Amino acid sequence: MKNNINVYPKPTTCQYCGHEVIYTTNAEIYGKEYGNGKCYKCNNCDAYVGVHNGTDIPLGILANRELRNLKKRAHAMFDPIWKRRKKYRWQCYHQLALKLDIPVKECHFGWFNKDMLEKSIQILKNGLFN
């Protein structure tokens, strides 16, 4: 599975409140810089998203607290499957994409909305390879 991160859109308007989104230091969120130190952040609400190292390309869509919690939950269920080395990571994403009926190149928790994350979590609860 290969994603072309250069085509990922950079957010300019918050999908939650409609306010401007700025490219800034993630110290505005965490109190100090973490990772590459950059993010996109809504000027009005708690929505934000980090960026790929060495770029200004977002890791996904802007996420409010609810969406961030769903992403964490999905990863907490998904990551142990491939980290135990019973399957490769790409195999797990491929299987999830099949079950979600989406192209593999679009199968990334960072780009999922609430509905897709909830569907993914249900699939993971039922067993990704069942």
Helix axes 89-100, 114-126, angle to 10 degrees: 110
Phi, psi of 94 (to 5 degrees): -60, -45
- Measured distance CA(79)–CA(83) in Å, rounded: 6
CB atoms within 10 A of CB 18: 10
- Residue-wise pLDDT tens digits, 20-44: 999 999 999 999 999 899 999 999 9
- Is the pTM here over 0.85, yes or no? yes
- Residue-wise pLDDT tens digits, 48-57: 999 999 899 9
- Residue-wise pLDDT tens digits, 71-94: 999 999 999 999 887 789 999 999
